[in-house]
Amino acid sequence: MLDELKTDTVPSVIDTGFAFYGIPVGPLLDSPFIVHRKATGQELLGALKQIGGDRLILNSALAWGYGDCLALSKIRLYLELQDVSNDTLNNIFYENALSFFSQWRDIR
C-alpha cells in the first residue's frame, strides 16, 4: 500500500503497481503550521470520479497533529449526499482495507 497520498497525486501514481492507495481525510485547516494536509470530501469526490474506488483506502491519520475523530463518518455522509454508489462506499470504507490486511491473517 502506498499511503498518505494527496488526492491530486493519486492519478499520477495509480499505475505504479501498488495494490492499494491510502488517502487521509479530515477537516480543511489553512495554517502555516500544517505539515500534512488531509483530503476534504470535495477533493475525495474529484479523485473518485477520476480513478474510482477499487483501490482506495481512507484513513483519518489522527497521529499527524490535528484531526477529527469523526472525519471518516463525515466524509461518508458527504459522499452519500453526493450520490456515490453504495458499492464504492463499501469498497473505500471497508472492503479494500479488509482485502489489504487479510493478506497476512484471516480476519474475516
For residue 104, which amino acid is it? W
pTM reported for the whole predicted model: 0.79
For the segment 30-84, what is each residue's pLDDT rounded down to a tens digit?
Answer: 666 555 678 888 888 988 888 889 988 998 877 666 778 888 999 999 999 999 9
How would you label 23-50 residue by residue, b for 16+ Cβ within 10 Å and e otherwise? bbbbeeeeeeeeeebbbbbebbbbbbee
The 10 Å Cβ neighbour count of residue 88 is: 15
For the segment 19-31, what is each residue's pLDDT rounded down to a tens digit?
Answer: 788 888 877 666 6
- CA 61/CA 69 separation, integer angstroms: 9
